[in-house]
Amino acid sequence: MDNEKLLIIRDLHKYYGKHHVLKGVNLEVNEGETLVIIGPSGSGKSTLLRCINLLVKPDKGKIIFDNEEITGKNIDVRKVREKIGFVFQHFNLFLHLTAIENVMLGLVKVKKYPREKARRIAEEALLSVGITEDLWSKYPAQLSGGQQQRVAIARAIAMDPKLLLFDEPTSALDPELIGEVLKVMEKLANEGRTMIVVTHEIGFALKTADRVVFFDDGRVVEEGEPEQVILNPRTERARRFLLSIRELYRLE
Amino acid sequence: MDFVEEILYLTSNYGTDLLNAMLLTIEITFIGFSIGLLLGLPISLGRVYGPLPLKVILATYIEFIRGTPMIVQLFFIYYALPIMGITLDAFTASIIAIGLNSAAYQAEYFRMAFGAIQREQWEAALSIGLSRSTVLTSVVLPQGMRIAIPALTNEIIYLLKYSSIAYFVTVPELVYVSKIIGARTLLHIQIYTVTAVFYISMSIILTKFAKIIEEKTAIPGLVLKGRT
């Protein structure tokens, strides 16, 4: 595997008022790697993802993405975001646009592609996530959660990003719809895309991740091979968290 | 003569006058509403997304308009502006007064509509690299306009009735003409019945028309709600 570092995070801090959310995060992601971040709710995982594509401005520390310090001054935030795809927990499709228009918006307005070219790319992206032609002109409210999330993934990958961020992409889905989304993500990982996935799906992590990070209380607590972190965590905190998650899975 | 006959008498003898007056009422309503829309939309955008000094100025404008009677605003434009060297005819003064007044209210309706758009829509739009202004034109406006339709319907129905304040500066709109006809024929109940029927019919038509627009622009499968 190519070992070039696409993303380097150094001592990243974020405060919301007095609340210290990120307390010095250090993290590196190699090109082509799938990194899974697990950890309890409220530990700052979402904030970390939002810092990476600058939806949230970090208070201290450095983020180097694609050989450029994006936390520095005179950074074109939009250029950075264009290169980083974001998939949200609640899909966040544009409610007034059809599936294909959702995918096309960025291509037309950001990449300035002519509509025909944008449409072609959008069709390709939708097909690659299993959204067939009969669904292209449906509005988000007419699609199932799983279909909406796959359209959202298509919207992200159509922009041809260097990095894909997933913020608990299956947490808002009915259980029977989780599989179709995870399958798409697995396919993307196998295609060699660089991905950071925040999820509680430890099955997906074991199968697909190159590396797993256990995140708690605004810090990286543990990181390593999926089997090691998930099945044999070194720290007590990770052990307790993973035990409760595995318990849950067994009960299901 | 019985009541119906008297009304027929009025409509046959003063039909043209009444019709012209009604058209003038409709004209004042629609022009006033259009001025309000043209100004109200940018005012709300400036108030929600503009820099702080602009926000303060626009908020002050809205408070001023909402805090004073429309008739005072009209008298100011018609009687006070000439003292400062700006003289307007009665019709122009009326549509300007009504337009400026409606702009403040429409700005508030739009502000509520934009506020009802989920923060997630913004996040998603920014995350693909759209600029803030493109998010406004491509995401916020199309959704916000739809949310605002019921409030705007209310507004135009209000204006239909408030257009009658033009009476006070001698614009020959429906109330003004009705009053003259009433005085001339002494058929007061009859003429104001005709007037009332016109206002009610117009407001029913406007409501129906708005409903059609609402349905035509509805997003399939989705109920877009304003903040309640």
Q: Does residue A96 sit within a domain?
A: no
Q: Does residue A73 sit within a domain?
A: yes
Contacts of the segment A181-189: beta carbons below 8 A, 24+ positions apart? A181/A146, A181/A149, A181/A150, A181/A153, A184/A129, A184/A130, A184/A150, A184/A153, A185/A153, A187/A128, A188/A153, A188/A157, A188/A164, A189/A34
**A70 near A78, Cβ under 8 Å?**
no
Alpha-carbon distances, residue A62 vs A12, A14, A47, B146, B212 (angstroms): 6, 12, 15, 42, 54
Average pLDDT in chain B: 93
Average pLDDT in chain A: 93
Summarize the confidence of residues A76-96 as an average pLDDT.
95
Which chain B residue has the Cα nearest residue A97? Answer: B219
> Among residues of chain B, what percentage have pLDDT more than 90?
88
CB pair distance less than 8 Å for A95 and B134: no
Determine the distance in angstroms separating the CA of A163 from the nearest CA of chain B, rounded to an integer.
12
Query: Which one of A92, A112, A147, A167 would you mutate to disrupt binding with B, by most B Cβ within 10 Å of its Cβ?
Result: A92
CATH at A19: 3.40.50.300
> Among residues of chain B, what percentage have pLDDT more than 70?
97
CB pair distance less than 8 Å for A88 and B124: yes
All structural domains of chain B, each given as residue ranges with its CATH number in brackets, are 3-217 (1.10.3720.10)
Q: Does residue A39 sit within a domain?
A: no
Q: In 3-state terms, what secondary structure has residue A3?
A: coil
pLDDT value of position B224: 63
pLDDT tens per residue, range B151-180: 999 999 999 999 999 999 999 999 999 999
CB pair distance less than 8 Å for B128 and A90: no
pLDDT value of position A243: 87
Q: Is the pLDDT of residue B147 over 80?
A: yes
Q: Is the pLDDT of residue A57 over 90?
A: yes
Residue range of the domain that includes A54: 1-32+44-82+199-252
Q: Is the pLDDT of residue B223 over 80?
A: no
Q: Which residue has the higher pLDDT, B227 or A47?
A: A47
> A30 - beta bridge partners?
A5
Q: Is the pLDDT of residue B11 over 70?
A: yes
Q: Is the pLDDT of residue A228 over 60?
A: yes
Q: Does residue A158 sit within a domain?
A: no
pLDDT tens per residue, range B32-87: 999 999 999 999 999 998 999 999 999 999 999 999 999 999 999 999 999 999 89
Q: Is the pLDDT of residue A25 over 80?
A: yes
d(CA A226, CA B117): 40
pLDDT value of position B222: 79
Determine the distance in angstroms separating the CA of A96 from the nearest CA of chain B, rounded to an integer.
6
Q: In 3-state terms, what secondary structure has residue A120?
A: helix
How many independent structural domains does chain A possess? 1
Q: Is the pLDDT of residue B186 over 90?
A: yes
Contacts of the segment B69-72: beta carbons below 8 A, 24+ positions apart? B70/B97, B70/B98, B70/B101, B70/B162, B70/B165, B71/B165, B71/B168
CB pair distance less than 8 Å for B139 and A96: yes
Q: Is the pLDDT of residue B196 over 70?
A: yes
Position B228 confidence tier, pLDDT thresholds 50, 70, 90: very low
Q: Does residue A230 sit within a domain?
A: yes
d(CA A164, CA A195): 5
CB pair distance less than 8 Å for B130 and A106: yes
Q: In 3-state terms, what secondary structure has residue A75?
A: coil
Position A252 confidence tier, pLDDT thresholds 50, 70, 90: very low
CB pair distance less than 8 Å for A95 and B143: yes
pLDDT value of position B118: 87
The complex scores an ipTM of 0.92
Summarize the confidence of residues A85-107 as an average pLDDT.
96
Q: Is the pLDDT of residue A193 over 80?
A: yes
Q: Does residue A176 sit within a domain?
A: no
Q: Does residue A66 sit within a domain?
A: yes
Which chain A residue has the Cα nearest residue B224? Answer: A95
